[in-house]
A and B are shown apart, each in its own frame.
Chain A
Amino acid sequence: MPPFQRFLEEHGEPVYRFLVASVGPEEAQDCFQETFLAALRAYPRLRDAANLRSWVMTIAHRKALDSHRSRRRRPEPVASVPDASGRPDEDGDPGVWRRVQTLPAKQREAVVLRYVGDMPYHDVARTMGTSEAAARQNVRLALRKLREVMT
């Protein structure tokens, strides 16, 4: 196993981007800490150092789902609709993650794992517990919807 600090340096950025895309920038900070604390605790028990990216993304994915769930349970204050945390990107458009938030859950997870987490389809499928074909279809549909709103 590589030293955890190196693991953090290598995967910190894609994990953070993945979390911003999944839960928005405010929840992302908390989810990021939870993800890497869980990874740090489990790290020495890990046998296979071959696919650390997929491993940490699976943890981040779980933390993002937890965050979605607890947010749903909380009474939704008006201030926390996406607008409040939306920010303009380079072109002054609202961040793409906000559009991603409006996708159906499976499509959102799939496209975010694939393009933000930078994972191959078979890892996307494994992380989501679906077939590779289903992962591809979800990404395809998500991209089509994102392109529609971006152009």
Chain B
Amino acid sequence: MSEIERAFRAAAPAEEVEEAVANFLRRAEREGPAEVAYAEADSPLGMLLVAVTPRGLVRLAYPNEGQDEVLGELAAGVSPRILRLEGKTDDVRRELGEYFEGRRRRFEVPVDWALTRGFTRKVLRATARIPYGALRTYREVASRAGNERAYRAAGNALGSNPIPIVVPCHRVVHTGGGLGGYTGGLERKEFLLELEGALE
């Protein structure tokens, strides 16, 4: 039987399979039945994963979060109709590139808050309004989100930020001068704050 199977494999070489997949992706991009499109974006902080929906940027992940985990989370939390469609992420990747080159102080791509709920969403929306290079404390952000005493909950909300960098949770620090935590690791938080001139 293996003889016949081998013959079938030879009849459909790998490059033709790749071509078929690429043609399908082009058509899916044009006809638009995908609900989440993602691609990788190179950055000084490593290869980021960028995911968008028709409503906007829904997820931005550092490499340490693991692509399979992130895609699984999107499948469960947004839609399993996820495809790797670079073109759909062009705007986000361009703005990120400009930000890391120091040429952009504000992101203009719309944000899709689909992966956030309740108080977390309020905290992240308040965080999204912190200007470039400015620092806020957890208590200030909690207060902006409507509950000054919930600064611990605000810390948790920031720790679960699905869209770091663009929703700038790195601009939130401790009252006493500590840097606080960061999903991508403290080195990345420092890098971003230095890039924005907040730590000089």
By a beta-carbon cutoff of 8 Å, the part of chain A in contact with chain B is 1-6, 8, 12-13, 16-17, 20-21, 25, 28-29, 32-33, 36-37, 40-41, 43-44, 87, 89-90, 93, 95-97, 115-116, 143, 146-147, 150
Q: Which of B18-61 contact A (CB under 8 A)?
A: 19-21, 23-24, 27-28, 31, 33-36, 38
B187 lies within 8 A of chain A by Cβ: no
Give CA–CA (A32, B7) in the complex, Å: 20
Which secondary structure characterizes the binding site on chain B? helix
Give CA–CA (A119, B14) in the complex, Å: 20
Residue among A16, A25, A90, A93 having the largest count of chain B Cβ atoms under 10 Å: A16
Question: Size of chain B's interface in residues, with CB distance under 8 A?
Answer: 38
A143 / chain B contacts, CB cutoff of 8 Å: 1, 4
A87 / chain B contacts, CB cutoff of 8 Å: 11
Q: Which of B16, B23, B80 contacts A2 (CB 8 A)?
A: B80
Quick check: B20 and A12 within 8 Å, CB to CB?
yes
A146 / chain B contacts, CB cutoff of 8 Å: 4
Which secondary structure characterizes the binding site on chain A? helix
Q: Which of B9, B20, B71, B79 contacts A5 (CB 8 A)?
A: B71
**Stretch from B81-89, B109-117, B119-127 contacting the other chain:** B81-89
A20 / chain B contacts, CB cutoff of 8 Å: 8, 11-12, 16
Known contacts A1-B75, A17-B12, A29-B20; A44/B31 CB under 8 A: no
Quick check: B20 and A32 within 8 Å, CB to CB?
yes
Give CA–CA (A32, B21) in the complex, Å: 8
Quick check: A6 and B71 within 8 Å, CB to CB?
yes
Give CA–CA (A20, B24) in the complex, Å: 16
Known contacts A28-B20, A37-B28; A115/B80 CB under 8 A: no
Quick check: B1 and A17 within 8 Å, CB to CB?
no
Give CA–CA (A87, B12) in the complex, Å: 10
Quick check: A150 and B4 within 8 Å, CB to CB?
yes
Give CA–CA (A118, B35) in the complex, Å: 30
